[in-house]
Amino acid sequence: MKKTVKNLNKLYASAFEKMTKMSEFLAKNCVDHALDFHYGHRIKIGKQFTNELYPIPLVRFKLKGIKTESFFDVYTKEDYIGYIKLYPSKEEILSLDLEVFASLKYLIYGYNYQQELYNSEDLNQTKNNIEKSRDTKFIIYADFANLEQIFSVVDKFIIKPTQSFSTANYKCECGHYITIDSDQGSCPVCGKNSPFKRKFKAKCLVCQTVCLKDQYGNGRCQNCGWTLDKFANRMKSRVIYPNLISLNKAKKLYRENKHLKPDLDDFLEAFEFYGETGFEYKNLMFCLFGHGDDGIEMSWGPNDDEVAYFKDKEDFIQNAKIDNEYLRDIWDKVENPGYL
Ligand SMILES: [Zn+2]
Ligand SMILES: [Zn+2]
């Protein structure tokens, strides 16, 4: 048995490597995708199909909204390492530039009847055939000889991303390994929302309003602005990330009908907790960083080239100035205090 597993691993290693490269390629282009296996693959040796059924790795994703699968075979030849399948509707296939497949060995057939082949040497003829057909769903099937070939086909259909890499990988409850482009993504196989998108009901610790939190307990109360945090309840009178005031003070402010805005003391306590905070004043950003043991560095200016140093929190409260005014006197006019 051990030997069988060893042999199988050896046999599948190269197909797995290609599947991983495909996954990396899609992640770089921010295409949501899932890793899976396909079990109904029949082997064709020479011109003969044999009935040996064996699973092959595949990657599922969507191109221009069309369900797409790329399969990486274990049985390879010089001009064949696997194939790609797209499942477009009639409208979708007519809108695709089929020229993209011209350099590959490809077939277009109906999804339901699977009798006729629609592709011909002449692309216009191909489109004609599709337009006239009674099929409403199609399959585009193409063999590929190497990864570059499939990358170039996929690349032509990708809607170019604005960001540079997919944001999250996780194992879906349906068992597939998923890579998604944004926190809002969902599983391309079963459609279930990603754990980052899924929300759970929670009660705001400050105002008791029912709000939503994610799997990590993070979220924001729409009523009072408190950021949900599972540690806040354990350190009620301390300022801890991600809030800028303590839970007890937030409750007090809320009772008094006041905004949950940190005073200078709260802000500096947040700084001591986290090490990097900032605020805006007259459209300029001011950043605080640690300096030495207890020291504080405050930098600002268009290129952060204005700098002032303070030996500790007390020194900062007493002496930090902006335009000849003490920060403590103008703190009420400061905007967007927060963590950096
Ligand atoms: Zn799933
Ligand atoms: Zn609240």
pLDDT tier at 219, thresholds 50, 70, 90: confident
Tell me the residue type at 294: D
Q: Considering every ligand atom, which ligand is closest to the CA of 224?
A: 2
pLDDT surpassing 70 at residue 214: yes
Q: Considering every ligand atom, which ligand is closest to the CA of 211?
A: 2
Q: What span, in angstroms and rounded, lies between the C-alpha atoms of 258 and 317?
A: 23
pLDDT of residue 153: 93
Distance 239 CA to ligand 2 centre (A): 17
Give the pair of three-digit tokens for residue 27: 């992640």
Distance 283 CA to ligand 2 centre (A): 29
Q: What span, in angstroms and rounded, lies between the C-alpha atoms of 183 and 73?
A: 32
Q: Which residue has the tokens 């920060």?
A: 327
Distance 139 CA to ligand 2 centre (A): 52
Distance 203 CA to ligand 2 centre (A): 8
Distance 329 CA to ligand 2 centre (A): 29
Mean pLDDT of the chain: 89
Burial grade of 49 (CB within 10 A; 0-12, 13-18, 19 or more): exposed
Residues of each domain in the chain carrying CATH 3.30.930.10:
2-180
pLDDT tier at 189, thresholds 50, 70, 90: confident
Domain 2-180 matching CATH 3.30.930.10: the answer reads yes
Q: Which of 61, 72, 56 is nearest to 28 (CA)?
A: 61
pLDDT in tens, 303-336: 778 999 999 999 999 999 999 999 999 999 999 9
Distance 215 CA to ligand 1 centre (A): 17
pLDDT of residue 328: 96
Q: What span, in angstroms and rounded, lies between the C-alpha atoms of 101 and 141?
A: 9
Q: What span, in angstroms and rounded, lies between the C-alpha atoms of 258 and 264?
A: 16
Give the pair of three-digit tokens for residue 278: 């900032």
pLDDT in tens, 231-260: 888 899 999 999 999 999 999 999 999 999
Give the pair of three-digit tokens for residue 127: 């489109």
